[in-house]
Amino acid sequence: MFEQATLTDGPAGKRVWTAFLGLTSQAALVSLAVLAPMVWPQVLPTARFLETLAPPLPPAPPPKPLGSDVRKPARTAAVRSTGWRTVFVEPRRIPTGPIPLIEDEPTGAGVAGVPVGFGGPDNGVPGGIFQDIVRALPVAPPRVAAPVVRPAPEPATVIRRYTVGGDVRLGGVLHKAEPQYPPLAKAARVAGDVELECVVGVDGHIHEVKVRSGNPLLVHAAVDAAWQWVYTPSKLNGVPIEIVTILTFSFRLN
C-alpha cells in the first residue's frame, strides 16, 4: 500500500519527459531573472540619496590694524615704608625698564680685623705692626745655578798614510802566509802572479786590500793570504803612520 502511494504506475518515457520539462522551465526562469535587468535597466528601482546641506558660515571679522593690539602696561604701585606701616604710592610715569634696587649697607656689617693683607698702604693697614716685622726679616739673595761647563771634545787623532819611499820605510814582517793553490785553477792549468795593494795600519795588521792585477781564479786565494800578514808598526819621526805597500803572490804549476 505504501509503495502505491509514493510511486506512480505510469510509463518510464513519460517520467523522463516530465523531469526534463521541469528542469528546463526552472532554468528559463532563472535566466530571465538574470537577463531582465541587463536588457531593461529602467526596471531596476532607483535609489535616492538623502544629503543634508548646512547653511553657510558667517564671514570672518576684518583684521585689526597694526598697533591696535598693543597692550598698555599695567600701572605699578611703588612701596614706601613709613616706619610701622607700608603705603602703596602710584608712580607718576611708567618705567621703561627694570629699576635696580640699591640698599644701603647696614652699619656694623664689615669684618673686624685687617681688611687686606697685614702691612703696607696697598694691601693692608698703613703703618701696621706687621709691616715693621716684615721689614726687619733678613732677605736671602736668590740662588743662581752655576752654568754647567762641559769639557771640550778632544780632537780626533789624524793618522797620516804614506807610501814606501825616502824616509818612509815599512816595518819588518812578523808573520806571513803562503796562499793555497785553488783546486779549480790547478785543474784548469791556470798559473800566474796576483798583485795586491795593501794598507798596513799603525798596529802592523792589514786594514785594506785592493786587487791590482791577477787571474780571477787565483785572486781569492791571494787575498786570503794577504789578510794574515803582520808587520812591525811603522813610525815617522816617532809618530805612528800607515804604510801603503804592494804584495805579489806567484802561482806556479810543478
Domain assignment of residue 123, yes or no: no
Q: Are strands 161-163 and 242-251 parallel, antiparallel or unpaired?
A: parallel
Domain assignment of residue 140, yes or no: no
d(CA 92, CA 16): 121
d(CA 169, CA 245): 10
* pLDDT tens-place string over residues 156-167: 777 788 888 788
Lowest mean pLDDT among 25-34, 122-131, 134-143, 201-210: 122-131
Set of cell numbers at residue 206: 792589514
- Residue 138 phi, psi dihedral angles, 5° rounding: -75, 140
Return the percentage of the chain with pLDDT > 70, whole number. 63
Cβ distance 73 to 95 under 8 Å? no
Domain assignment of residue 11, yes or no: no
Domain assignment of residue 226, yes or no: yes
Boundaries of domain holding 206: 161-251
How many domains would you assign to the chain? 1
Give the closest residue to 204 by CA, choosing from 228, 183, 168, 182: 228
pLDDT value of position 85: 61
pLDDT value of position 100: 72
Domain assignment of residue 207, yes or no: yes
Query: What Rg, from alpha-carbon coordinates, does the chain have?
Result: 69
Q: Give the model's confidence band at 90: pLDDT under 50 very low, under 70 low, under 90 confident, else very high.
A: low
pLDDT value of position 66: 64
Give the closest residue to 192 by CA, choosing from 214, 216, 220: 214
Task: Report the CATH number that the domain containing residue 233 is assigned in CATH.
Answer: 3.30.2420.10
What is residue 228's three-state secondary structure? coil
Set of cell numbers at residue 243: 804604510
pLDDT of 145 > 90? The answer is no
What CA–CA distances, in Å, run from 195 to 69, 213, 232?
A: 119, 5, 22
d(CA 235, CA 204): 11
Domain assignment of residue 231, yes or no: yes
Q: pTM above 0.75? A: no
pLDDT of 133 > 80? The answer is no
DSSP annotation string for 21-39: HHHHHHHHHHHHHHHHHHH
Domain assignment of residue 238, yes or no: yes
pLDDT of 239 > 50? The answer is yes
Domain assignment of residue 245, yes or no: yes
pLDDT value of position 60: 79
* pLDDT tens-place string over residues 102-120: 666 655 544 444 444 444 4
